[in-house]
Amino acid sequence: MRSRLTVALGRTARLAARVRGGGSGGTAFPGLVMERTDPGFLERTLGRLPRGVIVVSGTNGKTTTTKMVVQLLREQGLKVFTNRTGSNFVRGVLASLLTEVDAAGNLDADIAVLELDEAHAVHFVARVRPRACLLLNVMRDQLDRFGEIDYTASLLHSIAKATSDVVVLNGDDPRLAAPAFLEGVSARVVSFGAGEDLRSLFLSDDDLRTGVVSPRQAGQAPSPRVTLEAIDGQRATVRVDGTSHEVDFAIPGVHNLLNACAALGVVLEVLGEDADLPGLLTTLGNVRAAFGRGEVLTLDGRPVQLSLVKNPAGFRMGLLSAASQAQDGEVVVVAINDEYADGRDMSWLWDVDFSALRAGGVAVVTGVRAWDMALRLRYDEVEVADVEPDLRRAVALMRRVAADTDRPMRIFTTYTAMLALRSILGEMTDVEEVMS
């Protein structure tokens, strides 16, 4: 009876939010209503899932990796609940549940795979103990929220300690692989990582500052069960339990190949002997990018790729991915906002090497911090054709340059700018609807 009332209240709140928002929105508010009126709803609902809950957290790659895990499990025949809107706070999970449960609060799923913000994941695991967690990395991000990087590591440590069965972590991240991180963790620990020949591509936060790849230390996390051994364009060599497999990936971005290894690692652990490895590898090759994370749209018959950037490591990987795809002559746009969801502190832009953009320059810099970004590019001798803080006018400029020169487009964008740009582009071309 309690759950039935909570669902009714949540759906009423969602309807009210949509009416007030003109027919859109309503992702977080109903979750807030449910959280305040029935704090036990989350635990009651998810606690009944036969295969439990997988939590995915870390600084970079949560949304795309979560999508990969979900697709892998579904292709193996499981019914999976996930917070696909990307709202990775506890309230976002509740709002996503609202769209999946019946009137009595029953969820028709075998397992839940949830992307969770590092800080909010700590609140979540205090209510719902995950069966498995996947911890991707620890990077400087949103310094106004998280402060020092070791604090972020401590948040992930809390998730690991709360996990009952298995912790899958990045064995190349010095903070996650450190013996101190594993103290108090009762679940078994396995890792994923990059082969020695690729470690210079996937630098840790410390490596970014020193410019030297940190050697693996004895006594750290167990040797990786899944390893990314080699990359040749969209083809990669993935080693699983000592055996190499060739996979042709559809998803763009070298960073997403490592995310794929992470996803495969946690799925193998959760499925155990039921795992169909050949089928999993086939599915992995077919996964597409999550919205805004390397997502490719078509505008005026030309591709436009959205590349989410939010910290030095993420921007670096975005630039590397652009270079690896050999898209000569792209019309490049950089969109930088500093809203709460982006992080207010934009000083991290000065830790990114933008020299890769010198050859082609940047067509438009836009967003709330457009002039700051233009100044940063000037220091790296990158030519900027236009500075236009208004996103809609910036899209028009990009579109005009692409049409005049018949070139593909790429937008490096922070989170809130990405959401706004997708809305603007949705008026001009097909864009997948992701909000509940």
Q: Which residues contact 432 (CB under 8 A, 6 or more apart)?
A: 291, 295
Q: What share of the chain is helix, strand, coil (3-state, %, to 5)?
A: 45, 20, 40
Residues of each domain in the chain carrying CATH 3.90.190.20: 295-427
Q: Which residues contact 363 (CB under 8 A, 6 or more apart)?
A: 331, 332, 333, 385, 386, 397, 398, 401
Angle between helices 254-271 and 62-75 (to 10 degrees): 50
**What does each of the 436 residues of the chain score in pLDDT, given as a tens digit?**
677 887 777 777 777 766 665 444 445 677 777 777 778 888 999 999 999 999 999 988 888 999 999 999 999 999 999 987 556 677 788 888 888 888 888 899 999 999 998 888 998 999 999 999 999 998 875 554 445 788 889 999 999 999 999 999 999 998 898 889 999 999 999 999 999 888 888 877 666 666 666 666 655 678 899 999 999 988 999 999 999 999 999 888 788 899 999 999 999 999 999 999 999 999 999 988 776 566 889 999 999 999 889 888 788 888 887 776 655 589 999 999 999 878 788 888 998 999 999 988 999 999 999 999 999 999 999 999 999 999 999 999 999 999 999 999 999 999 899 999 999 999 998 887 654 3
Say if domain 1-286 classifies as CATH 3.30.200.20: no
CATH topology of domain 295-427: Protein-Tyrosine Phosphatase; Chain A (3.90.190)
The H-assigned helical ranges of 41-117 are: 41-46, 62-75, 90-98
Total-model pTM:
0.81
Rounded Cα–Cα distance for residues 334 and 365 (Å): 5
Rounded Cα–Cα distance for residues 263 and 49 (Å): 20
Residues 293, 415 contacting (CB under 8 angstroms): no
Residues 370, 401 contacting (CB under 8 angstroms): no
Helix (H, G, I), strand (E, B) or coil at 397: helix
- Nearest CA to 14 out of 81, 114, 96 is that of 96
Give the pLDDT confidence score for residue 312 in this predicted structure: 84
Catalytic positions, written as ranges:
345
The tokens for 56 are 């995915």
Tell me the pLDDT tens digit for each residue of 222-252: 889 999 999 998 899 999 999 999 999 988 8
Q: Which of 252-281 are b and which e, b meaning 16 or more Cβ less than 10 Å from the residue's Cβ?
A: bbbbbbbbbbbbbbbbbbbbeeebeeeebb
Strand arrangement, sheet containing 53-57: 80-82, 111-115, 53-57, 132-135, 166-170, 188-194, 226-232, 235-240, 243-248
Residues of each domain in the chain carrying CATH 3.40.1190.10: 1-286
